[in-house]
Chain A
Amino acid sequence: MKNVIEFQSRLSRGAFQFDMKCSFGEGITGIYGPSGHGKTTLLQLISGLLNPDNGRICIGGKVVFDNEEKINIPSRYRKLGVVFQEGRLFPHLSVEENLRYGEKLLPKSQRQIQFDDVIATLEIGHLLQKKPEQCSGGEKQRIAMGRALLSSPQMLLMDEPFSAVDVTLREQILIYLVRIHRKYRIPMLVVSHDLPDILRLTDEILMVRDGYVEAFGKYLDLVLSRKMKPNGSGEGLLNVVSLYVHEVDEKRGITTLTGEQGTRKIKVHCEACSEGVALGREVKVSVHPGDIAISLHPVPDISIQNQLEGTIRQLLQDSGQVVCLVDVGFPLLVELTKSSTDRLGLKEGDRVFCLFKSMSVKVCEID
């Protein structure tokens, strides 16, 4: 599979040293790292808003920057849609004029994305005559996405799309992002300092620290090779799984999901799912590794409904913490204390049960 972006650049600004080499493919790639470590700089270099001191950048097979060949194609020709952290909607134009800004600059033959389609997908049709300042944070973010999309870019670059929005709206933004990716098949780069937000979108992650690439790969591989470590408050770890609706018990408010083979059943308690959701519909769920307990036998007289049987594939020890990878039909990360691991005598290859309450399962619906 050909890469959409091949990137190598060096940049020096006083105390900040930036030196990265990476490539991005056709799906969604998350760019993760602490604030101020170069994630936004990376996007600015790719989009041409900033020029590296030296390096080579290729987008869609075309060289857009090469300091040796003296090539430097300006932003407007790079055909990238950038969705900025603050939205940056033009305040003196209406929402519709904002949306059409990039579209109008394209000859009709190059307009591959239809206006009516976009406003329907992002549900912003009712805002067209308003001014940006009359819209809420979440609405502004969607308008910014629509504006970038309508310039028919070959890739979308999103800088912290979740940070300007409060927690309850994050799920919303997520849903729209996934909708866009599925509908238009546009590759996306999503920058965020919040790992769960990224993981709900993709498991391809570029880890950035101090201006250089710390690691790149699939999330699980990064965890298991210790490149991705849980930080003190247990924030670095999350399980995200795609499952399908098997059964809905509306009276009890419980929805049952299964894996692809229909063999593994996880019971999920969620109101959102219960509202006339179609059977077989795909949902993404997330469970915190810290919310999962391990038991050597199934526990019958307990309120915990989810008890998945599986095999321990790997055990990672890190001071007082242990991270287990259990194969329950899909990989599940479990966080335990060292003392409990020792007490139960857990080792690789053991048959165990993963227990977690249906309430610890967060649902992110994909429509």
Chain B
Amino acid sequence: MTDLFNFTTSDLSAISLSLKVAVWSSVIALPFAIAIGWFLARTRFRGKALLEGLIHLPLVLPPVVTGYLLLIILGTNGIIGKWLYDLTGIRIAFSFYAALLASVVVSFPLITRSIRLAIELVDEKYEEAARTLGASRLKTFLSITMPMASPGIISGFILGFARSLGEFGATITFAGNIEGETQTLPLAVFSYMQVPGQDTATFRLVMISVILSLLAMIVAEFLNRRAINRSRK
């Protein structure tokens, strides 16, 4: 029973890796998601459906397929990856950055969807009023649109974070299962399950996974409430 709380170094590295990847991928994806979310919500152009489709692709594709596609494009022998490797010697696949990229790609559509919806729900009439008062489009966006859409932006961020914590298929395909470098929590659980007699170890990690996810949801709810209250009071 005491084994349950005996965290090994590989356990700890899996946990810290998962957290690092989740935080960084959400932080990196957020500004792009805000920009694209605003773009999709507020502009009209030919081929918009195509762009929407492309962005939502990782949402519907099996994560392993997403990982495979990433490999084809950015792997060392990939379309872009080969050119990048020849030019700079940089190898993306099977590294921490691959795990990061995989997370960004799969969580991006979720964050974007949430932000786009939140922006669509902001009545353009307020933006018009701001413009007549002398605000530039950027000022209008920062002072009116974003604050009014903030509950949706926060939800999007947390959703992306949670998705990233649970990312498996794309990570293992594109980043591999390298302990200490790309073996995030889900990958570690999977690996431990393959080895007989590692039930306690497995359960240890499962426990942490559940706690992290619960915490993420609680923080999300708290931030959401606070944003809603601030816009009401």
Question: Which residues of A does B touch, CB under 8 Å?
Answer: 47-49, 74-82, 84, 86, 88, 90-92, 101-102, 105-106, 131, 133, 147-148, 151
Contacts and interface: CB of A to CB of B under 8 A. Distances in A.
A90 B144 contact: yes
Interface string B206-233: 0000000000000000000000001111
A92 B133 contact: no
Contacts of B143: 101
Contacts of B131: 48-49, 74-76
22 contacts: A48-B132, A49-B131, A76-B133, A76-B135, A79-B134, A80-B132, A81-B133, A82-B132, A84-B125, A84-B129, A86-B125, A90-B129, A90-B144, A91-B148, A92-B147, A101-B133, A102-B134, A105-B135, A131-B232, A131-B233, A151-B133, A151-B134
A91 B129 CA distance: 12
Secondary structure of the A contact surface, majority rule = loop
B128 interface: yes
A209 B88 CA distance: 69
Given A92-B147, A92-B230, A133-B232, A76 B134 contact: yes
Contacts of A80: 132
A133 B232 CA distance: 8
Contacts of A79: 134
Given A47-B132, A76-B134, A131-B232, 16 more contacts: A48-B131, A49-B128, A49-B132, A74-B131, A76-B132, A84-B129, A88-B128, A90-B126, A90-B129, A90-B130, A92-B147, A101-B143, A102-B133, A105-B133, A147-B133, A151-B133
Contacts of B233: 131
A49 B130 CA distance: 11
Interface of B: 125-126, 128-136, 139, 143-144, 147-148, 230-233
A199 B233 CA distance: 40
Contacts of A92: 147-148, 230-231
A148 to B, nearest CB: 7
B125 A88 contact: yes
B136 A76 contact: yes
A84 B136 CA distance: 19
Contact of B129 (A74, A82, A105, A131): A82
A78 B131 CA distance: 10
Contacts of A91: 126, 148, 231
Contacts of B133: 76, 81, 101-102, 105, 147-148, 151
A288 B139 CA distance: 49
B230 to A, nearest CB: 7
Contacts of A133: 232
Nearest to A97: B143
B193 to A, nearest CB: 48
A81 B134 CA distance: 9
Contacts of A49: 128, 131-132
Contacts of A106: 134
B132 A81 contact: yes
Ranked 7 nearest A-B pairs via Cβ = A102-B133, A105-B134, A88-B129, A75-B131, A82-B132, A92-B231, A76-B134
Contacts of B135: 76, 101, 105
Contacts of A101: 130, 133, 135, 143
A363 B97 CA distance: 77
Contacts of A86: 125
A77 B137 CA distance: 12
